[in-house]
Amino acid sequence: MRISAVTLAHEYGAVPPPGLADILWAQARPADGVEHIRVAAGRGRAVITYFLRAGDDRSAVAAARQVTNRAIAQAPSLRGWRTV
């Protein structure tokens, strides 16, 4: 198991939407290897920690970013959010 973190930021300091972990889970695919998602949210920022089945750290980082970027692209409640 690998751990990878992705940080989201909002330029206007918005609070992350409720159920952010559920939004991310909705975009996770079996091939991403996501086992667990933990979100630490605050005004204008959220740190998402992914626990993944991955062969190496590079694959884990790539999978975490892919899930996050899919969520940003698909979920209207994440409009204005970006990875940093």
Dist. CA 5–CA 52, nearest whole Å: 11
CATH number of 2-83: 3.30.70.420
- Mean pLDDT, rounded, for 32-51: 97
Residue-level pLDDT at 11: 87
Dist. CA 3–CA 79, nearest whole Å: 26
- Kindly list the strands in the beta sheet with 81-83, ordered across the sheet, starting from the edge strand earlier in the chain: 34-42, 45-52, 2-10, 81-83
Model confidence pLDDT, tens digit, residues 5-40: 999 999 899 999 999 999 999 999 999 999 999 999
State the pTM of this model: 0.94
Q: 1: number of CA atoms within 13 Å, CB side?
A: 9
Model confidence pLDDT, tens digit, residues 63-81: 999 999 999 999 999 999 9
